[in-house]
């Protein structure tokens, strides 16, 4: 959601900056949800009780403007957060002149009210698969989100604690779903966040499955089981780049207006706005579902190698930025290699790139022909299986070994 969960004076963040989004368009379809031997269910809420389960969730009570210059107040009233027909409903209302008190006991006035709840202090997780089936509101000014923050936010603050936005949507761009991360080095305050997006035409008309697969080496975002954004952990243990080795808790909310949601104003005729959640499910990976290793190899004998080396970049294997994933030279050889830990039975596209270009998508790319290049950008493709793999050595810019 790109803002603080921690109670701190530094709450007002600037406008979102999207950095090199990966974009995929899919059509609406019915998704059959089932578990398999790769995942074990460890936590869930199907919202089939008459009330919100306070052993799982906490309702927030915040005044307007507390974060992101949002216009709504968050209340714990059953007019803003409740269950209906086996679903969680977060309802935003237009209530000019509404008066209440926030969690500190301070009185406020608000023209809009809504709901926000989280699992902080009750449940948090490190790694796993998170599935949330939801239907989103429509109307300009709406800003629903499904996201996570690190447990250490109260001690280390944002963005050092890490933030994972499983789903964000703003009403003035209906159908454009965003997935993002924020860390000390990669966040929208610096214009460096890593984000991807996907177009779904029926976000406000039907339920869709928003999911995150989170392992020690990657984050993979999906909608309706269609992966659309992948981030690889290339941090070398730097917490400023990858704080996602610590527990995070889950947040569900519907904001109104604010720095992003209110860019084109608020449609007051669209109220009440509702975000409905059918269920939330959290899984842990089984031994059978473990990730596998894939070794990439490229021969640079016909190239003058850049001083910054050779990189895996482009396609959907990139780490969410133009730079890509660093490769390493084999001693007394012209071959460069890199072994990645990737999810099994998955498809990835990529290219080799001669040099690091962290701020540009231009320069250094290999040019390959149709024999081994696929798609608009003539990328290389790999489909992982269930076994560790060593890919054949290829020549930079060619499909086979160097001559």
Q: Which residue has the tokens 């899984």?
A: 283
Residues 86 and 191 in one domain: yes
Residue among 168, 174, 366, 398 flagged as catalytic: 168
The residue from 163, 174, 276, 398 that is catalytic is 163
Q: Is residue 106 located within the same domain as residue 208?
A: yes
Q: For this structure, is 168 an active site residue? A: yes
Q: Which one of 252, 285, 318 terminates a domain?
A: 285
Contact (CB, 8 A) for 76 and 35: no
Looking at the fold, whether 254 and 326 belong to one and the same domain comes out as: no
The last residue of one of the domains, among 285, 303, 333, is: 285
Domain that holds residue 71: 22-285
- Same domain flag for 160 and 297: no
Indicate whether this model's pTM tops 0.85: yes
* Residue 16: predicted pLDDT: 32
CA atoms within 13 A on the CB side of 3: 26
272 and 296 part of one domain: no
Flag whether 403 is in a domain. Answer: no
In a domain, residue 204? The reply is: yes
138 and 114 co-located in one domain: yes
Tell whether 208 and 315 lie within a shared domain.
no
* Residue 309 φ/ψ, nearest 5 degrees: 85, -165
Question: How much is the pLDDT for 35?
Answer: 54
Q: Are residues 105 and 226 in the same domain?
A: yes
Q: What is the CATH number of the domain that holds 52?
A: 2.60.120.200
Contact 217, 92 (CB under 8 A): no
Q: How many domains, in total, are found in the chain?
A: 2
The answer to whether position 84 is within a domain reads yes
Same domain, 384 and 264: no
Residues 270 and 305 in one domain: no
3 occurs within a structural domain? no
Known catalytic membership, residue 163: yes
Q: Strand ranges (DSSP E) for 136-225? A: 142-150, 163-168, 176-182, 194-199, 208-214, 218-223
In a domain? residue 147: yes
Specify whether the CB–CB gap between 173 and 144 falls below 8 A: no
Question: Does one domain contain both 130 and 255?
Answer: yes
Residue 349 inside a domain? The answer is yes
Q: In CATH, what number is assigned to the domain containing residue 387?
A: 2.60.40.10
CA distance 147 to 161: 13
Query: Is 358 within a domain?
Result: yes
Supply the DSSP string of 209-263, one letter for each residue: EEEEEE-SSEEEEEETTEEEEEEE---TT-TTT--TTS-EEEEEEEEEBHHHHTT
Q: Is residue 400 part of a domain?
A: no
Same structural domain, 117 and 189? yes
Closest CA to 232 of 152, 328, 343, 132: 343
Residue-level pLDDT at 54: 97
Domain boundary residue, one of 233, 257, 285: 285
Mean pLDDT by 10 residues, the chain (403 residues): 45 33 41 68 97 97 96 98 98 98 97 98 98 98 98 96 98 97 91 91 98 97 96 94 97 98 98 98 96 97 97 85 91 97 94 93 91 91 94 96 90
d(CA 223, CA 26): 9
């Amino acid at each position: 959601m790109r803002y603080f969960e921690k109670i701190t004076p530094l709450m007002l963040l600037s406008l979102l900056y999207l950095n090199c989004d990966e974009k995929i368009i899919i059509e609406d379809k019915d998704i059959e949800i089932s578990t398999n031997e790769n995942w074990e269910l460890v936590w869930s809420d199907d919202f089939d009780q008459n009330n919100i389960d306070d052993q799982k969730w906490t309702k927030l009570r915040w005044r307007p403007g507390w974060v992101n210059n949002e216009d709504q107040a968050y209340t714990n009233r059953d007019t803003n957060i409740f269950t209906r027909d086996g679903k969680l409903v977060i309802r935003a209302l237009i209530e000019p002149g509404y008066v209440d008190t926030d969690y500190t006991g301070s009185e406020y006035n608000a023209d809009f009210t809504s709901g926000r709840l989280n699992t902080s202090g009750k449940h948090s997780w490190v790694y796993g698969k998170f599935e949330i089936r939801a239907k989103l509101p429509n109307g300009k000014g709406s800003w629903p989100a499904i996201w996570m923050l690190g447990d250490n936010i109260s001690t280390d603050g944002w963005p050092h604690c890490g933030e994972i936005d499983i789903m964000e949507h703003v009403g003035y761009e209906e159908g454009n779903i965003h997935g993002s991360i924020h860390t000390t080095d990669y966040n929208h305050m610096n214009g460096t966040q890593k984000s991807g997006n996907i177009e779904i035409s029926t976000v406000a008309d039907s339920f869709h499955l928003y999911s995150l697969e989170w392992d020690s080496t990657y984050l993979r975002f999906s909608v309706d089981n269609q992966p659309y954004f992948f981030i690889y952990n290339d941090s070398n243990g730097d917490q400023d780049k990858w704080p996602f080795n610590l527990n995070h808790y889950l947040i569900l909310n519907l904001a109104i207006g604010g720095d992003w949601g209110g860019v084109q104003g608020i449609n007051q005729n669209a109220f009440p706005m509702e975000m409905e959640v059918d269920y939330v499910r959290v899984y842990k990976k089984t031994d059978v579902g473990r990730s596998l290793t894939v070794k990439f190899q490229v021969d640079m004998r016909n190239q003058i190698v850049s001083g910054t080396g050779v990189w895996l970049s482009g396609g959907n294997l990139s780490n969410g930025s133009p730079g890509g994933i660093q490769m390493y030279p084999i001693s007394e050889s012209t071959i460069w290699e890199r072994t990645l830990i990737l999810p099994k039975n998955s498809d990835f596209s990529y290219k080799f790139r001669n040099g690091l270009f962290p701020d540009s998508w231009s320069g250094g790319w290999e040019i390959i022909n149709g024999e081994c290049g696929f798609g608009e950008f003539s990328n290389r493709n790999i489909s992982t299986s269930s076994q560790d793999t060593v890919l054949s050595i290829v020549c930079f810019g060619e499909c086979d070994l160097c001559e």
